[in-house]
Amino acid sequence: MARGRPREHNRDQIALDLLDWVQQDGSTNLCGFCADMMLDPCKISQWANEDAEFRKCVNIAKMHIARRREAMVNARLLYSKAYEMNAPVYDLFLKEEKQLQAQFESRLKQEESKATSPEQDEKYKAIMGQLSSLQSSSNHATSKCNTDIKS
């Protein structure tokens, strides 16, 4: 027996309503669906995270919206900047590419941050110079001792 407060909304019905709504020509973003349904937009994300079937319906709706928005940009019915700003929200493939690019750039930055600074390079050269000088002094002292022993 289920416990707790009963659901305010029927997710299954909302998922079906979403799939019907997205078939309409004017369906260009999920906020429009939420406004039409008087539904808190946070619920769509929450339910998609909690329920695999609901998530599937949301992804299908996003796919339709992505296709429609791209067609609108191509037909010059949607300003390209408005499209670009929201394209990753609706286009899963673009979103994945952007994530991969961000991961790649992050790895590059990490590798660059591991590189030494000019100050570190100078300190390294100074230490190496000191070691070289000490080694030279040590070699000179060793050869003098060897010369003294032979005499």
**What CA–CA distance (Å, rounded) separates 109 from 103?**
10
Write down the mean pLDDT value for the chain.
87
Residues in the chain: 151
In this predicted structure, the answer to whether residue 5 has a pLDDT above a threshold of 80 is no
User: Sorting pLDDT into bands at 50, 70 and 90, what band is 6?
Assistant: low
Share of the chain above pLDDT 90, in %: 59
**What CA–CA distance (Å, rounded) separates 91 from 68?**
11
pLDDT digits (tens, 9 = 90+) for 19-28: 999 999 999 9
121 vs 141: which has the higher pLDDT: 121
Say what the pTM is: 0.65
148 vs 79: which has the higher pLDDT: 79
What's the pLDDT at 109? 84
Residue for token pair 């961000």: 102
pLDDT digits (tens, 9 = 90+) for 88-116: 899 989 989 999 999 999 988 888 777 67
2 vs 85: which has the higher pLDDT: 85
What's the pLDDT at 135? 84
Q: Which residues contact residue 63 at a Cβ distance below 8 angstroms, ignoring those fewer than 6 apart?
A: 90, 92
- How many angstroms separate the Cα of 92 from the Cα of each of 16, 17, 66, 97, 119? 21, 22, 9, 9, 45
